[in-house]
Amino acid sequence: MDIVGDDPKFSPKHISLMLAILYFFRKQGGINPVPVFSIQLRDQAKIRSERIYYYCMKDLKQWGYIKIKPSFKPDVASQITLREIGKKE
């Protein structure tokens, strides 16, 4: 979280979404990639708007904090890979 806190680009929504991703990462054993549905992340992050959710996910991906393989299927989770701590991509 120090990395996120030091990055001036992060808004409260970005931080909330990153915390939600970290929550599921830890809950599922700390293994990359993290299989998770967007509705789960939105609920955990308290982000109601799909538009805001996708905007923040795009930013996190673009800034190199995550990689995402979206499923586009309602019954298959997307795969989110967190970058290694201290590693810049």
Burial of 8 (0-12, 13-18, 19+ CB in 10 A): exposed
Q: What is the pLDDT of residues 24-76, one digit of tens each?
A: 999 999 989 999 999 999 999 999 999 999 999 999 999 999 999 999 898 99
Question: pTM (2 decimals)?
Answer: 0.86
Per-residue pLDDT at 82: 92
Query: Across the beta sheet with 78-82, what order do the strands follow?
Result: 34-36, 78-82, 66-69
The answer to whether residue 87 scores a pLDDT higher than 60 is: no
